[in-house]
Amino acid sequence: MATISPTPSAEALDLVSVLERLVALVRGLLPDGEMSLTAASTLRMLDRDGPHRISELAASQSVTQPAMTQLVTRLERDGHAERGGSAEDARVVLVGITPTGRDYLRRRREARALRLGELLDTLPATERARIVAAIPAFTLLAGLSQVTDGSRTR
């Protein structure tokens, strides 16, 4: 008996294709070599949502707890993050971003935005408008995924 696999919608397929290519675009926007994607994503989460536990950060990035322990150690070593204790549970470590970490994210984002701005300027006004108009919707979409990530186990 053949199993019937669900088929994704054409819209979702197109969107995935574009997003895959946009990932490559974003990666290419910086010479980088500075920080891994996972490290930067973790730092951004600390910047947006405040301090988190090691296990929460690990789940959000889909890496194991030991991997996140070492990633946080590297972030701490470079002055981008800092460990703190929890008043309620002595086992827990709360990781937060430092001013240095925020500065790093800001500079990185600005460098990318400058490069991306140049690309946007070469697009026809209509296309550029479509992209700008979709930013809030994509922000909403990105926010949805966060919930999903957090509930993931491994």
Partner DNA sequence: TATTGTTATACTCTATAACTATA
Partner DNA sequence: TATAGTTATAGAGTATAACAATA
Residues near DNA (CB under 7 A): 33, 35-36, 38-39, 53-55, 62-67, 69-74, 83, 89-94, 154
Closest CA to 41 of 140, 149, 133: 149
Contacting range for a second copy; rule: CB under 8 A; set: 49-57, 69-77, 87-95, 137-145? 137-145
Give, in degrees to the nearest 5, the angle at Cα 114 between 77 and 44.
35
Q: Locate tokens 């479509």: which residue?
A: 130
Tell the smallest beta-carbon distance from residue 131 to DNA (Å): 29
User: Could you give the residue ranges of the DSSP H alpha helices within 62-124?
Assistant: 65-77, 99-121
Interaction partner, residue 79 (DNA, a second copy, none; CB < 5-8 Å by kind): none
Tell the smallest beta-carbon distance from residue 135 to a second copy (Å): 5
Distance of CA 101 to the CA centre of its chain: 15
Interaction partner, residue 8 (DNA, a second copy, none; CB < 5-8 Å by kind): a second copy
Q: What CA–CA distance (Å, rounded) separates 56 from 98?
A: 19
Residues in contact with 78: Cβ distance below 8 Å, sequence separation at least 6, in sequence order: none
The answer to whether 67 and 55 have CB atoms below 8 angstroms apart is no
Tell the smallest beta-carbon distance from residue 132 to DNA (Å): 32
What Å distances lie between residue 2 and 30, 77, 85, 137, CA to CA? 47, 54, 54, 39
Tell the smallest beta-carbon distance from residue 125 to a second copy (Å): 11
Interaction partner, residue 91 (DNA, a second copy, none; CB < 5-8 Å by kind): DNA
Contacting range for a second copy; rule: CB under 8 A; set: 50-58, 68-76, 88-96, 144-152? 144-152
Q: Which residues bind a second copy (CB under 8 A)?
A: 6-9, 11-29, 31-32, 37, 40-41, 44, 61-62, 109-110, 112-114, 116-117, 119-120, 122-123, 126-128, 130-142, 144-145, 148-149, 152
